[in-house]
Structure 1
Amino acid sequence: MKLLISTLCAILLFGCQSTSPLPKGFQGATASLDDSFSHLSHHSGHFFIASKIDGKPMVNSAEFSESSSFNQGHLVVRGISRPLEAGKNYQLTLIGRTAHSAPIVGVFADSFYVSGDVSFTPKANEFYTVVGTLGEDNSQIWIEDLHGNRVTDVIDKSGKSTRTLTEPAAPAPAKDKKALFTTIRGGESTAQVIKKLGEPASIDVNEANIFSNRQTKVIYHYPELGLIQFEATKSKKNWYANSVIKVEVALQGKEDIAKLSNDLDGMGAVEIRDMARAFAQQSEVSNELLDSFTQKVWDERNTADAQMIDAVAWLCTVVGNSGNLRYEQALNEIATDTQSPKLKKYAVKAKSKLTKVGMGFELQR
């Protein structure tokens, strides 16, 4: 009941805004643009949104999530997917910011912000997502297509474009389903997920009740890939998947774990970042993988590659989420020895989350 009331409040709040920039009755070819988000904690997340399209305010997932979280005690995440006219040049205002379950949370938690305008012409039947990074040293926002190709300029925290698309960006190599699975972000629509991975092998519904303080979730199962949790919408008696809340990567035994550990050295910064984002949503990660992730952070602690620093900072987040004191000394050494203020911050933050007793991990030097 509380969730229903807060959702109705959110709908009333956005009465003056729109979820679609298309003219009424439009029948032409369209594309889709999704907002995205990543969880930071039970109460906070980073959101990357389209707040205006051709100067017109749009309903966005950050404000919708905050409104839906009213009196809930946690951040209720809401995705937004918008149809766009294919072939039309749009002027979009993009915003990346931290959202919280309540204003008081923002008083005690880090909050970051980046905003700027981009020009964007979508292609028919394509899926696009607003994405970015937020932090003290590297806040940026842009739009990507389904395969991870950048399709707009990148806006930095000064509001200026850091890169200009003077010619079409070189397409990224085609990814198989396993690689595409790791790129799925919070907020992506069901349609985009199915476009990437196909129909799931099975679907479960984890239904909330009046005594629980959680959202109903629809869960898509992809054998050998993992599972994807979606926020749910009810129509009559059935629940339907709406947008991604959480991704859990499946690892098939020790062989898969060993392979991923060995593959780390050959992976690029973007691949590591996408993989770490997926693992950051999981409740449990094996010590074998956490050992490899910690070692990778140490090995790259003083790289000059800003993208790699961002990637290993995400690995720090995964290690911190484990809560395992096994990694306390290693994270302390990383924070002490790195020349990157960003990585130091993430290593210290990860260390502060460690509370579970565990045998020590020794770095290879």
Structure 2
Amino acid sequence: MKILFTCFALVLTGCASTYSPVPENYQGEISKIDSSEKRHSNGKSDLFYLSKVNGKEIYNTLSATRNATYGQGFNLTTELLKTDVPSQEATFNIIGRTEHAAPMQAFADKVYEVKGNIVFKPEPNKEYIVKGILGESYSAVWIELKDTGEVIKNKIEVNGSAELGFFEK
């Protein structure tokens, strides 16, 4: 069974490559964007994280959490990443998503997801954090300045259910 799961995971992620938002030899100023979570149980958490920068997939909290959780049964080990980004205007794709330790848990439970883009210029040497809320009647994800809690630009909101269908989980 482990071999089958490993092969399946490789098929899903083996061809995907990730991009570093900070180019090699970059000399400019840097900002940081943290991930966050709302823990429900040992096996379930809502993750809020940066997924893409300027349309390019980055190594993110969901991938890191799935890697850290592999082989632990129903125990979810979250890896909340802090991503360095250049302090220049960019499009940041952020996601709020329910994650379970084991795929079978997700199929038997509700999984919510909300995602979208925020375009802004991070201030040099500042830390930001992706926050959110996921629920049956309202879900949202946003970026805020870590020190003050000030929401950057706007929240990406879903009024009503943001529950994923069976094949989207």
TM-score bracket for the superposition, by shorter chain length: 0.7 to 0.9
When normalised by structure 1's length, the TM-score is 0.38
After superposition, what is the alpha-carbon deviation per residue over 1:335-357, rounded to whole angstroms, capped at 9, x for unaligned? xxxxxxxxxxxxxxxxxxxxxxx
Asked if 1:108 corresponds to 2:104, the answer is no
Cα deviation 1:253-311 (Å, max 9, x = unaligned): xxxxxxxxxxxxxxxxxxxxxxxxxxxxxxxxxxxxxxxxxxxxxxxxxxxxxxxxxxx
User: How far 1:15 sits from its partner (Å)?
Assistant: 6.6
Cα separation, 2, equivalents of 1:60 and 1:85: 17
Structure with the bigger percentage of helix: 1
Percent of residue pairs bearing the same amino acid type: 28
Residue 13 (structure 1) shift: 5.2
Secondary structure at the aligned position of 1:123 is classed as: coil
Match of 1:82 in 2: 83
Classify the secondary structure of the residue corresponding to 1:65.
helix
Report the alpha carbon displacement of residue 108 of structure 1 after superposing the two structures with TM. Answer: 2.2
Question: For residue 65 of structure 2, what is the aligned residue in structure 1?
Answer: 65
Deviation at 1:111, TM superposition (A): 1.3
Q: Are residue 123 (structure 1) and residue 119 (structure 2) matched?
A: no
Partner of 2:144: 144
Aligned to 1:154: 155
Aligned position for 2:164: none
Q: Is the 8 A contact 1:51 1:58 kept in 2?
A: yes
Deviation, 1:82, is 1.1
Partner of 1:56: 56
Retained in 2: the 8 A contact 1:115–1:157? no
- 2:90 maps to a residue whose letter is Y
Distance 1:139 1:118, change over 3 A: same
State the 4+ residue runs in structure 1 displaced beyond 4 angstroms.
Answer: 12-15
Higher RCO structure, 1 or 2 (CA under 8 Å, sep 6+): 2
User: Given that residues 120 and 152 in structure 1 are in contact (C-alpha distance below 8 angstroms), is that contact kept between their aligned partners in structure 2?
Assistant: yes
1:32 aligned residue: 32
Displacement of 1:50 after TM fit? 1.3
Q: Is the 8 A contact 1:66 1:100 kept in 2?
A: no
User: How many Å separate the matches in 1 of 2:62 and 2:90?
Assistant: 21
1:149-200 CA-partner distances (Å, limit 9, x unpaired): 1112110127xxxxxxxxxxxxxxxxxxxxxxxxxxxxxxxxxxxxxxxxxx
Structure 2, unpaired ranges of 5+: 1-5, 160-169
Question: Secondary structure of 2:78's match?
Answer: coil
Q: State the alpha-carbon separation in 1 of the partners of residues 97 and 157 from structure 2.
A: 12
Q: 1:116, CA displacement in angstroms?
A: 1.1
Give the match's secondary structure for 1:45.
strand
Question: How many residues in Structure 1 have an aligned counterpart in Structure 2?
Answer: 148
Displacement, 1:53?
Answer: 0.6
Q: Distance in 1 between matches of 2:49 and 2:158?
A: 15
> 1:121, 1:114 → 2: CA distance?
22
Q: What is the deviation of 1:91? A: 0.7
Q: Which amino acid aligns with 1:91?
A: T
Q: Taking structure 2 as the reference length, what is the TM-score of the superposition?
A: 0.80
- Identify the structure with the greater strand proportion: 2
Native 8 Å contact 1:129 1:145 kept in 2: yes
Q: Tell me which amino acid in the other structure corresponds to 1:28.
A: G
Structure 2: which amino acid aligns with 1:151?
I
Q: Distance in 1 between matches of 2:153 and 2:58?
A: 19
Question: Counterparts of 1:102 and 1:118 in 2: how far apart (Å)?
Answer: 31
Residues 1:114 and 1:40: Cα distance change in structure 2 (over 3 Å): same
Q: Is 1:16–2:17 an aligned residue pair?
A: yes
SS at match of 2:107: helix
Q: Secondary structure at 2:99's aligned position in 1?
A: strand
Q: Distance in 1 between matches of 2:65 and 2:127?
A: 22
Cα distance per residue 1:209-237 (max 9 Å; x no partner): xxxxxxxxxxxxxxxxxxxxxxxxxxxxx
Aligned counterparts of 1:41 and 1:14: Cα–Cα separation in 2: 32
2-side partners of 1:28 and 1:99: how far apart?
35
2:43 is matched with: 43
Partner of 1:350: none
CA distance in structure 2 between the aligned counterparts of 1:90 and 1:75, rounded to whole angstroms: 32
Matched AA of 2:59: V
